[in-house]
Amino acid sequence: MEDLIKKAAEDIIKAQRVSALTGAGMSAESGIPTFRDPGGFWERYNPEEYAHINTFFSHPEKPWQMVKDFDIKVKAKPNPGHLALAELESLGFLREIITQNVDNLHQQAGNSQVIEFHGNLRRAVCLTCGKYYELAKISLEILPPRCECNGILKPDAVFFGEPIPQEAYRRSYEAARSCKLMLVIGTSAVVYPAASIPQIAKQAGAVVVEVNPQPTPLTGVISDYIIIGKAGVVLPEIVKAVKNLLC
Ligand code: OAD
């Protein structure tokens, strides 16, 4: 692993223009379960029943129940992996993070360019008048929560069956086409269109480096190499190696 960490650091310095695509594994060490690992969200909640936009329209209280369980409202904090990516941005290498996560932890860690591919659960939006609310400021005692206009509030996250927000989509593909190295961290890379982003980067000539405790469908096909390990361990090591090479 040490050799690959040094290689990743050298590749980052050579590339100069780095993008990252992150998934739920990025926040696992912050205590937020992933979706598809054992004990993940989709073991407890059938996504068709709890995370499809059609369910939201017929039974909005169900997705809201899952949001309550997500419990990111107050507890989760950025882990050393998030902080390492913030440092990689401040060192001038990481231009943007495209995240599938809705937990706001990259933003909390200090990254300024975060593309929210699947929205952000810190916000809710009224389906009637379009007013936005901070989730922390609305009561979840009675579900679904409602707007002051009495419209139903929807978590500002992308549900299955919903399109990706247009601007996030445009910026992500632009980043994929223009980066020289893409870090793909903590994603099973099975949900599209997010999973196509490393493929676009690869086709445009970028080096693709995965950080994940286990291989993914990208491994050996799209990614140039994978560093097997947890984001909270591997990413600080990479950033340390980058700094060592710079002095
Ligand atoms: P998944 O649950 O599908 O995959 C999590 C990935 O993180 C797996 O590849 C794990 O091996 C890896 N992992 C676990 N712990 C890790 C750690 N400590 N460090 C690094 N990696 C770790 O989550 P996503 O790929 O993010 O979409 O799922 C993609 C989308 O599917 C989500 O955004 C969500 C879900 O349905 C929507 O809800 C629209």
Percentage of the chain exceeding pLDDT 70: 98
Tokens of 68: 């309550």
| Strand 119-126 relative to strand 153-157, pairing | antiparallel
- Residue 2 has a pLDDT of 82
Contacts for 37 with CB less than 8 Å, ≥ 6 apart: 25, 28
**C-alpha–C-alpha distance, residues 64 and 171, integer Å:** 29
pLDDT in tens, 194-227: 999 999 999 999 999 999 999 999 999 999 999 9
pLDDT of 73 above 70: no
For residue 1, the model assigns a pLDDT of: 75
Residue 75 pLDDT more than 80?
no
> Could you tell me if the CB of 216 is within 6 A of ligand 1?
yes
Q: What pLDDT is recorded for position 105?
A: 96
Helix orientation angle between 231-246 and 2-15, rounded to the nearest 10 degrees: 60
**pLDDT for 71 beyond 70:** no
The first and second tokens of residue 219, run together, are 């491994």
Does the pLDDT of residue 91 top 80, yes or no? yes
> How far, in Å, is the centroid of ligand 1 from the Cα of 28?
9
118 is a catalytic site residue: yes
CA distance 195 to 205: 17
**Buried/exposed 179-195: b ≥16 CB within 10 Å, e otherwise:** bbbbbbbbbbbeeeebb
Q: Which domains does the chain have, with CATH numbers?
A: 1-31+77-118+164-247 (3.40.50.1220), 33-73+120-157 (3.30.1600.10)
pLDDT of residue 74: 55
* Ligand 1 pocket check for 51: Cβ under 6 Å: yes
Closest by Cα among 93, 106, 102, 97 to 9:
93
| Rounded Cα–Cα distance for residues 213 and 193 (Å) | 23
Beta strands in the chain (DSSP E): 18-22, 94-99, 114-116, 119-126, 132-134, 153-157, 181-185, 207-212, 225-228
Nearest CA to ligand 1 atom 18: 230
| 33 ligand 1 Cβ < 6 A | no
Q: What is the mean pLDDT of residues 1-6?
A: 91
In this predicted structure, the answer to whether residue 72 has a pLDDT above a threshold of 90 is no
